[in-house]
Amino acid sequence: MTRKNAVVALMGVELILNAANLNLIAFSKYTGTMNGMMFSIFVIVLAAAEASIALAIVLNIYGTFRSVDLTEIDTMRE
């Protein structure tokens, strides 16, 4: 959120997802059920899919704006 580069922001998103996964597995171990582990497997898959799409969007943005600096991509302003 606070980074300028779009790719770095995406890396941040990956980090968040992985952190959530860790949390899920830890709690699953804590309660002894399988729910957390199943959920985290789903999350891994989704994270992968979403990362690919996100990178594709960033590629397109680079094609249009010639930069990946988030502060410059503000044409949707009023």
Partner 1 sequence: MDSLIQLSIYVLLLPLVSFAVQIFFSGKLPRQGDFIAAGFLGIAFALSLYIASSVVGAFNPDFKLQWQFTWVDFGNVKGIGELKFKMGILMDNLTAIMLVVVTGISFLVHIFSMGYMEGEARYGRYFGYLGIFTFSMLGIVLVDNFFAIYCFWELVGLSSFLLIGFYFEKDSATNAQNKAFMLNRVGDIGFWLGILILYSQFHTFNYQEIYANVAAGKFGMSEGMLTLAGILLFMGCMGKSAQFPLHTWLPDAMEGPTPVSALIHAATMVAAGVYLVARVFVILTVDALQFIAVIGAVTAFFAATLAITKNDIKRVLAYSTLSQLGYMVMGMGVGSFAAAFFHLVTHAFFKAGLFLGSGSVIHATHHEQDMRYMGGLMKKMPITFATFTICLLALSGLPLFTGFLSKDAILAGALGFAKVEGSWFAVVPILGFGAALLTPFYMGRQWFMVFFGENRADQKPASAHDDHHHGHGDDHHGEIHESSLVMTAPLVVLALMSFWFVFSPNPLSGENGWFMKLIKTPETVVLAKATEPKSLGANEHSASVVAVSDEKKDEEKKNEHGSEHKDGHAGAGEHHAAFKNERQAKLEHEAHEAHGTAVMFSISFAVLGLGLAALVYGKGMGALGLPFEGLSKMMNWFNDTIPENGLVGGAARVGKGFASLNGALDKNVVDGLVNLTGMLVQLFGIVFRKLQTGRVQTYIAFLLIAVITYFAFNFLK
The residues, ordered by sequence, that sit 6+ positions from 7 with a Cβ below 8 Å of its Cβ are 55, 58, 68
Token duo for residue 40: 């985290």
Contacts by 31-39, CB closer than 8 A, 24 or more apart: none
* Least distance CB 53 / partner 1 (angstroms): 15
- Which residue, 45 or 71, has its beta carbon nearer to partner 1? 71
Within residues 5-64, the interface with partner 1 by CB under 8 A covers 9
Within residues 59-78, the interface with partner 1 by CB under 8 A covers 70-71, 73-78
Catalog residues that contact partner 1 under the rule CB under 8 A. Answer: 1-2, 9, 70-71, 73-78
